[in-house]
Amino acid sequence: MVERPTIFTLAELKRFPGKSMIRFIECSGNGGRAYRLTTATAELTPQQTDGLTSTSEWTGVPLATLLREVGASPKARWLLAEGMDAAVMTRSVPIEMANDDALIAYGQNGEALRPEQGYPVRLMLPGVEGNASVKWLRRIEVADQPFMTREETSKYTDPLPDGTARMFSLVMDAKSLITEPSFPDKLEGHGWCEVRGLAWSGRGRITRVEVSTDGGNTWQNATLDEPVLPKCHTRFRLPWQWSGGEAVLMSRATDETGYVQPTTAELMKVRGPNTQYHFNNIRAWQVGADGVVRLVGGAA
Amino acid sequence: MTRATRCTLALALATTTALAAGTLARAQTPARYGLGRPATPDEIRARDIDVMPDGRGLPQGRGTVAEGAAVYAAKCASCHGANGEGASAERLVGRNDGDSFAFATNPKLVRTVGSYWPYASTLFDYTQRAMPFQRPGTLTPNETYGLVAYLLFQNGIVKEDAVMDQATLPKVVMPAHGKFVVDDRKGGRTVK
């Protein structure tokens, strides 16, 4: 469904007008360990529960530019991105997403993509589950319907309590996480400290992060550090006076669509306990009277 | 051509465009940049290995359940178990009572080709591109058709005398077909 099937060298891709943008990428399985905790508390770090995400400056050529260059048909609805890894991994991408802010990325943080990040080029789909940003990209094919590859049927689908399963759940909903204090921190002494963390949404900018220090009974607006970029990790802060007693710290992000990060119970109600991806539920940290911080388990 | 020469050329074009438009604004975005070279039919054939649910992309060839069983024993059983029950690699064979699709709430359900995969085309596509694990991409079309026939038979989806080819494979209706819905999350207040 293209007028001119074309082969581009890396050098040729770099001659197109390029674009750099600072965006997060996150594995859609990130957070599974926190979602499924059955113990009251757990000695897990933010890295262990939610470390499969990062923000980089990505540089490349907009995919929309290449689709114009090859004359993609107006009837095109989906495209297939195919890697050159041993499994020649494939994912289908809606054409709207390809024409929005998708990049064929050749640079990351001011240098060429590293081999493990997809050299020479990878697809970069901002705000989308990381698996779809296919690394070591070798081919893009345009079609009128999705290809139904293994990674979008057998994997990366979300069974729902109504007995169906959601497919192409690509966008990562708003999420936040307190990174300080967290396990294995131990608060030393009463008085002022700062609650800090990260918030992000695959649908745009974070507009608000609220922090609770009493297990969700009351909430206060946290400060957002500039710049607040769309689809990008955003740091939040809230000064907090620890009285020395037990406290439960939580953060709740809102994005520019008005979406509010759900509690574990709210998310479990619509997804079920055995769901495999997209764990953006509120995390809670218990501060013990001895200052020891642990992840709170169960449906908070 | 050196990088410097290319830049000079691009600037010259930009100047011409600006003059023609009678403005000092930036050069308009051209419809095409004329980069890259045409892919030849042979190059496309060598890379275009995907198979779609309606059968588009299936190669010529055929395979039976018996042929697939032999290939499976030789190339797949060491990881997926003698009968697809799973070992170091995931379970491939098995159905749930009443073909239950309560995967969100029931962790005891088995997730297999027979219980969860909505399209037989995916089984062909993935097997030919990614299997066997040690030598992906080495199966012949006939071997892959046979493996698909064998695994569909093991899952109780086709009969023992089934033959898989370009005509029959797209007609297979998987038990999980129709269970999948496209993402309806759109942001906003509702948690879905």
- What pLDDT digit, counting tens, does each position of B157-173 carry? 999 999 999 999 999 99
Q: Is A271 on the interface with B (CB under 8 A)?
A: yes
Q: B178: nearest CA in chain A?
A: A164
Cross-chain residue pair B187–A258, CB shorter than 8 Å? yes
Q: Domain span at residue A217?
A: 175-296
Which residues of A fall within a CB distance of 8 Å from B38?
4-7
CA A259 to chain centre: 15
B50-60 per-position pLDDT tens digit: 999 999 999 99
- Residues in chain B, how many? 192
Percentage of the residues of chain B whose pLDDT score is greater than 70: 85
Q: Is B119 on the interface with A (CB under 8 A)?
A: yes
A224 is a domain residue: yes
- Phi and psi (nearest 5°) for A122? -135, 160
A68-90 per-position pLDDT tens digit: 999 999 999 999 999 999 999 99
B37-52 per-position pLDDT tens digit: 999 999 999 999 999 9
Q: Is B135 on the interface with A (CB under 8 A)?
A: no
Same domain (yes/no): A197, A151: no
A155 is a domain residue: yes
Q: Is B99 on the interface with A (CB under 8 A)?
A: no
A237 is a domain residue: yes
Predicted pLDDT of residue B25: 61
Minimal CA separation from A64 to chain B, in Å: 12
Q: Is A273 on the interface with B (CB under 8 A)?
A: yes
Same domain (yes/no): A100, A184: no
A84 or B3, which is more confident? A84
User: Mean pLDDT of all residues in chain B?
Assistant: 89
Between CA B101 and CA A198 the distance in angstroms is 36
Picking from A166, A190, A209, the residue at the C-terminal end of a domain is A166
Same domain (yes/no): A271, A124: no
Please tell me whether residue B29 adopts helix, strand or coil conformation: coil
pLDDT at B12 over 80: no
Q: Domain boundaries in chain B?
A: 1-28, 51-171
Pairing, β A247-255 against β A284-287: antiparallel
Predicted pLDDT of residue A297: 81
Same domain (yes/no): A121, A250: no
B79 with B63: CB under 8 angstroms? no
Which residues of B fall within a CB distance of 8 Å from A255?
187
CB atoms within 10 A of CB A24: 22
pLDDT at B20 over 60: no
Please tell me whether residue B67 adopts helix, strand or coil conformation: helix
Predicted pLDDT of residue B30: 87
Cross-chain residue pair A149–B53, CB shorter than 8 Å? no
Mean pLDDT by groups of 10 residues along chain A of 300 residues: 97 98 98 90 96 98 97 97 97 96 98 98 98 98 98 98 98 98 95 97 98 97 98 98 96 98 96 96 96 82
CATH number corresponding to B51-171 = 1.10.760.10
Same domain (yes/no): A31, A140: yes
B101-130 per-position pLDDT tens digit: 999 999 999 999 999 999 999 999 999 999
Which residues of B fall within a CB distance of 8 Å from A87?
129-130, 136
Minimal CA separation from B177 to chain A, in Å: 10
- Chain A (238-267) residues lying within 8 Å, Cβ to Cβ, of chain B: 255, 257-260, 262, 266-267
Minimal CA separation from B182 to chain A, in Å: 5
Predicted pLDDT of residue B26: 62
How many domains does the structure of chain A reveal? 2
Same domain (yes/no): A280, A233: yes
Q: Is the pTM of this model over 0.90?
A: yes
Predicted pLDDT of residue A37: 87
Query: Could you tell me the CATH number of the domain that includes residue A31?
Result: 3.90.420.10
Same domain (yes/no): A157, A18: yes
Same domain (yes/no): A150, A209: no
Q: A264: nearest CA in chain B?
A: B191
Same domain (yes/no): A161, A232: no
- Residues in chain A, how many? 300
